[in-house]
Chain A
Amino acid sequence: MSAKIRWTGAVLGVLGVALTLVLHWMVFFWVPTERTMGVVQRIFYVHVPAAWVAFMAFGIVAVCSAVYLWLKDERLDMAAVAAAEGGILFTTIVLLTGPLWGRVAWGTWWTWEPRLTLTLLLWFIYLGYFLVRSSTENPQRGKRFAAVVGIVGALDIPLIHLSVQWFRSLHPAPVVMRPAGPSLHPDMLATLFVGLGAMTLLFFSFFLYRYGLERVSQGLLHREVAEGRTPQPEGVLS
């Protein structure tokens, strides 16, 4: 792993952890309690930033996949798989924190609410991405297949979003990204942005380390093949 990737990843990671600690202090001791939902609303400062990061990661997967198919640059595929692994992690965080909140606020662990459903489907699209990658004998083929899954998934996400929205909505309406400006208390907004910053830093730290790891393992594979210690897998070096 190159020193540049390692150091950037480490700096982002340390900043991310530090900011996460600040976030937890803010969430537990600083931010005012929401009037109707009470103390359980505080999970929002983890849940919403994790969701933003999960969808951003999926955007990175889609863009890197599309450009990978076009330019065939291995680094783009490595970036896509690194973003996908970060993305499934944050999607899992969203899916774990959502029901914890929903149990108290809605009285049920699970409901077929649009954004919940969309996030679960996103998780399954990521799952398909990894299954396709790992179930081909020819790694080049697996990378291309995964890229196709990433692109089609990204094209379908807006349609899934529209359809589940149309089907039923009882999720709290957006409170930040709305035409009239944020309706949150300024302290809550500040906490949310600290959460967003912390999650984004952590994501990019994971992303860089995973990217570096992928480069190392690909490089190792190429070297072993070149030195004749590993039989050439079908199509690897083409």
Chain B
Amino acid sequence: MREYLRQVGALVWKDVVVEYRTRERVAAMGGFTILVGILFNYAIDPTAVEPQAIASGLIWMTVVFGGMLGLGRTFHLEEEEGAFQGVLLSPIPRDALYLGKVVANFLILTVVTILVFAVFALFFGLEFGRHPLALAGVVLLGILGFVAIGTLFSAISARTSMGDTLLPILVFPLMVPVIIYGVTATSSLFAGLPASEVEGNIRMLGAFAAVALAAGAGLFRYVVEE
């Protein structure tokens, strides 16, 4: 078990260091989210719609679209010069490889999500309610489920001729529960409702993440095998 965690940790560390040194994905996703915020400003008539009323939906969609940008590149580095063969040859179980990628993607997307919240708060003068812990629980469990599905399917789409264009078609239909439970819970918290209101949502988001992680860990070997 300890050995397993060490292997997952090594893979996460590799991806985080690569990301820290290149800042490729965070820069692309961060730039994307700020620009989306600017475009939303002009796409919404603030005299007709209160930004606070639709903020949670905008934030979630921005995180999901921005996340797709980064997730699509999960395996790009390894696809170059057959580097993935090297990773596959290392004595690491396939599910550890998957979990390592999921954790790395999760950390990167968490950074981007914090940026999204900050940018939207700044641009639209949003209030996030009185329960930062419940909000963090909702958002982190939601993006964990998203990343768990997205990482599995980016391994698939990266190895098809359609590439990244295939990823949203595979991922979005499956994302409906995350969006429904995530957005409604975020809206409730933004509206200042007590944290007990969103307990059911947090449970469902947790269940989704658990199912997605288990499925991804179990099925990843069939995606990467030759």
Contacts and interface: CB of A to CB of B under 8 A. Distances in A.
Nearest to B167: A128
Interface in A90-144: 117, 121, 124-125, 127-128, 131-132, 135-137, 141-142, 144
Interface string A144-185: 110111011101100110111011000000000000000000
Contacts of A127: 169
Interface in B184-226: 184, 204, 207-208, 211-212, 215-216, 219, 222-223, 225-226
Contacts of B176: 117, 121, 160, 163-164
A148 B215 CA distance: 9
B166 A152 contact: no
A69 interface: yes
B177 A159 contact: yes
B149 interface: yes
A152 B215 contact: yes
B152 A148 contact: yes
Given A135-B160, A135-B162, A152-B152, A145 B223 contact: yes
Interface in A185-211: none
A119 to B, nearest CB: 11
Nearest to B223: A148
A217 to B, nearest CB: 20
B173 interface: yes
A235 interface: yes
A135 B161 contact: yes
Contacts of A153: 173-174
A148 B219 contact: yes
B124 interface: no
A155 B211 CA distance: 8
Given A144-B223, A166-B180, A128 B159 contact: no
A121 B208 CA distance: 17
Nearest to A143: B222
A131 B156 CA distance: 11
B159 A167 contact: no
Contacts of A144: 222-223, 225
Nearest to A125: B173
B144 to A, nearest CB: 14
Nearest to A159: B177
B169 A124 contact: yes
B75 interface: no
Contacts of A147: 222
B181 interface: yes
B69 interface: no
Contacts of B126: none
B115 interface: no
Interface string B145-174: 000010011001001111000100110111
Given A145-B156, A152-B149, A159 B208 contact: yes
Contacts of B215: 151-152, 155
A149 B171 CA distance: 10
A179 B148 CA distance: 37
B13 to A, nearest CB: 27
Interface centre among B152, B216, B219 (most CB of A within 10 A): B219
Contacts of A149: 153, 156, 170
Contacts of B225: 144
A69 B169 contact: no
Contact of B173 (A128, A137, A145, A163): A128
Contact of A148 (B204, B207, B211, B222): B222
A167 B180 contact: yes
Contacts of B208: 159
A162 B173 contact: no
B166 A131 contact: yes
Given A148-B222, A155-B215, 7 more contacts: A124-B169, A132-B170, A148-B152, A152-B174, A152-B215, A159-B208, A166-B180
Interface of A: 69, 117, 121, 124-125, 127-128, 131-132, 135-137, 141-142, 144-145, 147-149, 151-153, 155-156, 159-160, 162-164, 166-167, 235
11 contacts: A132-B160, A144-B223, A148-B156, A152-B174, A153-B174, A156-B173, A159-B177, A159-B204, A160-B173, A163-B204, A166-B180
Closest 5 CB pairs of A and B: A163-B177, A135-B160, A124-B173, A163-B180, A135-B162
